[in-house]
Structure 1
């Protein structure tokens, strides 16, 4: 009986010491994890890293530290962690294979956030969509179209295609093409287009507008009006100018042709 009691005492003493040590490791580890989280956030904020990437890095470092603490706690408590780590690694591999597409989007999202080809509220053309950037996350980017529709684009599709950031520069050039009939007076046509360009407040005077005869097309003589505008006016510059051109051309008797073909008939004897 005394031997059994001694065995219980030795077991309780040994296990109790391990348990107390494991609890101490856990408590100290949790405090250390909070300190690591706070230190990483402070360090990244000093580098002026993007807030989304900062938040992700802070949370990742915190979770990684907690995992290390839990492994140390289990090891001290007498639990064999080798098999646990093996299972955890296998589960991570299986999850990675299952979420391969999402991981590609995630990697592209990290690159977008780091290199910043565009920012929120920028006017962009990405993956065939033109609109304003509403949100950038690690998996997707949300675009607000001019008609207020919302387009959610996977980040991998964005990084696999060209990115046009209209808002990156304060001013951009727009080419407006107007066709007139072959009978139209070239000098009068250019003069009308000049007057319209100079009267529109959205068109900048520096660099100066450029109006040139650009093409002798099948059914029309095409003039190109190259004008510089502020980036914010990119979507609206066509409106108003097109109407003014039509009215001024009508008043001046300058015809705007429609596609046509000349048909020649020959009689064969």
Structure 2
């Protein structure tokens, strides 16, 4: 009696289909491994973009070549069986990995539209929470950001296509809000003068920077999205980036102030803010503007006999 062999759609035996499926997965693994090894070999010798796409071409070549070879060997290059096998595999993937497909399609759109690129400083849908993150890698399904605190944030590619993306590198500038608190009895006009003077004196805060930096900032007005920021100025220029101070709130005996400054060195944000605050606090202490004082008309406390 002849033993029957299980048959799937298109006349493919179950053993052949399983062998094709496992070989397919194996070549996916080999493609990813080749990508990582080639990236490691090329990084530091060529630009990161060139290394990434060269490794990606090798990865896709291994994957596609492996699929072709396994289909020809296990499926006898039967076009009907080949399409049927991929159809079964596609159905499984569609139901179990819908997000993976979305991220893969988004990865292709990112490659075409380039909303973000390697080495750019961006925020994607509020992440990283520590502030702008540097784009470290853009893979087939995820984009890796490195935050200012050094942490790596893996962002699905679909988030970059469907969510709000803030790209600081293309704008070339970052506005920083620096909180400051002084006693309610302090001379706010003098505090403002000291705070703005400290910003003017800092060599890394706009607009009082080196001539080369000043020229680079001036060239940003040729960009349409920067030009719109200065549309209300009679002569768009560096005056747009002058430091400003405003009162945020008054709580108990303290006035909360906010100093807004512009910088170009996004990775050095924390250091610039720290240096600025050290200078302001030192000058405020020198003029005794941080010490709480009694109102002149406040009655003296009664003394008991």
Interval of TM-score (by shorter of Structure 1 and Structure 2)? 0.5 to 0.7
2:172 pairs with 1:137: no
- Partner residue in 2 for 1:96: 94
- Partner residue in 1 for 2:112: 114
Query: How far apart, CA to CA, are the structure 1 residues paired with 2:86 and 2:117?
Result: 37
SS of equivalent to 1:176: strand
Distance 1:125 1:83, change over 3 A: closer
- Partner residue in 1 for 2:251: 218
| Cα RMSD (Å) | 3.5
Query: How far apart, CA to CA, are the structure 2 residues paired with 1:216 and 1:80?
Result: 75
Query: How far apart, CA to CA, are the structure 1 residues paired with 2:86 and 2:122?
Result: 42
Distance 1:81 1:163, change over 3 A: closer
> TM-score w.r.t. structure 1 length?
0.62
CA contact (8 A) 2:176 2:262 kept: yes
- Partner residue in 2 for 1:186: 188
1:236 aligns with one of 250, 271, 276: 271
Distance 1:88 1:204, change over 3 A: closer
Query: How far apart, CA to CA, are the structure 2 residues paired with 1:230 and 1:256?
Result: 34
> TM-score w.r.t. structure 2 length?
0.55
Aligned counterparts, 1:31-50, within 5 A: none
Aligned counterparts, 1:155-166, within 5 A: 155-166=157-168
- Partner residue in 1 for 2:284: 249
Structure 1 residue 159, shift from structure 2 partner: 3.5
Structure 1 residue 84, shift from structure 2 partner: 4.4
1:227 aligns with one of 233, 241, 261: 261
Q: Which has the larger radius of gyration?
A: 1
Unaligned runs of 5+ in 1: 1-49, 72-76, 258-269
Distance 1:243 1:97, change over 3 A: same
- Partner residue in 2 for 1:170: 172
CA contact (8 A) 2:243 2:262 kept: no
Counting matched residue pairs gives 202
CA contact (8 A) 1:181 1:256 kept: yes
Distance 1:213 1:98, change over 3 A: closer
SS of equivalent to 1:121: coil
- Encode CA deviations 1:152-182: one digit per residue, 9 max, x unaligned: 2222344443222221222232232312121
